[in-house]
Amino acid sequence: MRAVLQRVSRASVSVQGQVVGEIGLGLMILVCAMQGDTEAQAERLAAKIAKLRIFKDDQGKMNLSVKDVGGAALIVSQFTLAADLRGNRPGFSPAASPDDGKRLYDHFTSRIAAEGIATANGHFGADMDVDLVNQGPVTIWMDTDSL
């Protein structure tokens, strides 16, 4: 699985002009299931994200996790993270099938929640508008193949 994390002071996702998920302080997580990904990879990714120390402590050092600061996670499916860029028009065949992608997205979301992090979501497969304020800015790319 692949994910892009952004430390945010606030974030929301809308579908057809209606906000369907929003958070204050926390993480905006764009996540993509790849062909061959498993529930175990979703669990490993969720556990790593929950413990990742990218929020500032009292001394201004990135030393706290989203859990430590009482933050939330806005989780949005993003199949374009699977882009194959060999040509000028990206291909997305490395992404999991829609059925597998939805199953793994839901499993990942449930594992983030099981870590004690409040979650909000977009709508899987929908055309969404994402609004966020990246704090820092801090943006981190993750792939379970390198965890």
Q: What is the pLDDT of residues 59-106, one digit of tens each?
A: 999 999 999 999 999 999 999 999 999 999 999 999 999 999 999 999
User: Which residues have CB under 8 Å from 13's CB, separation 6+?
Assistant: 19, 20, 21, 22, 74, 76, 120, 121, 122, 128, 129, 130, 131
Q: Would you state the pLDDT for residue 34?
A: 98
Position 115 confidence tier, pLDDT thresholds 50, 70, 90: very high
pLDDT band at 129 (very low <50, low <70, confident <90, very high): very high
Task: Provide the CB-side half-sphere exposure for 89 (13 A, CA).
Answer: 0
Question: Which residues are designated catalytic?
Answer: 78-80
- Under the banding of pLDDT at 50, 70 and 90, the label for residue 107 is very high
Q: Which pLDDT score, from 0 to 100, does residue 18 have?
A: 98
pLDDT of residue 8: 98
Q: Give the C-alpha separation, 45 to 31, whole Å.
A: 10
| pLDDT tens digit sequence for 15-67 | 999 999 999 999 999 999 999 999 999 999 999 999 999 999 999 999 999 99
All structural domains of the chain, each given as residue ranges with its CATH number in brackets, are 2-139 (3.50.80.10)
Which pLDDT score is estimated for 27?
98
